[in-house]
Structure formats: C-alpha cells, structure tokens
Amino acid sequence: IVFADFFIMNLILWVKGSSAAIPFGTLVAILAMWFGISVPLTFVGAYFGFKEKPIEHPVRTNQIPRQIPEQSFFTKPLPGIVMGGILPFGCIFIQLFFILN
C-alpha cells in the first residue's frame, strides 16, 4: 500500500512536470531490489528461525502466587500518557517560541 501511494504521488508529480519526480526506471529498480533482496531474506530468516530449538528459560517458575503491590500514582496509564506527550511537546513549543520571536 505504501508503494502504491508513493507511485500515485510520483505520477501526479510527472503530470505536473515537477523536477521532484523520480524517474520510472528508478522506481522499478527500487521495487526490484525490494522483491529481489528484502523478501527472500525475510523467508530465509523465517526458515532458519523455525529450525532452531525453542528458548529454554534458565530458572524455574514458582508455583505459589505472590501479592502484587498497589500501583503508585505515576505508574498508572493516564499520568504516563500525559508525561510522555506534554513534556516533548512543551520542549519543542518553548524552543520554537524563542526561535520565532
């Protein structure tokens, strides 16, 4: 799907006569490299991966269940989402504020 979107975008650039369009031969070469290198390597890796014996865990698992302690405030999902989203956004916002002023 990604390649089809890329091809359609490139087709529009060809129609408009843009210098940003990639030549058709280059597009075919990229597609050939993808199907000629990446796809076979994926199947070869899967073949050798399934031939390997499964991983054995180095320890025994205890059969007695243990108590899980109560989660603290910052380990709950909502504060993690807020910290993970607001901190980078705030940093970029402050930098852009000073750059654009």
Digit-coded pLDDT (tens) for 37-61:
999 999 999 999 999 998 888 888 8
CA 96, chain centre distance (Å): 26
The Cα 13–Cα 8 span in angstroms is 9
What's the farthest any 2 CA atoms get from each other in the chain?
A: 71
Quote the pLDDT of residue 3.
67
6-15 per-position pLDDT tens digit: 788 888 988 9
Supply 46's token pair: 């899967």
Q: Which of 84, 95, 31 is nearest to 23 (CA)?
A: 31
19-36 per-position pLDDT tens digit: 888 888 888 898 899 899
pTM for the whole thing?
Answer: 0.43
Average pLDDT score, the chain: 87
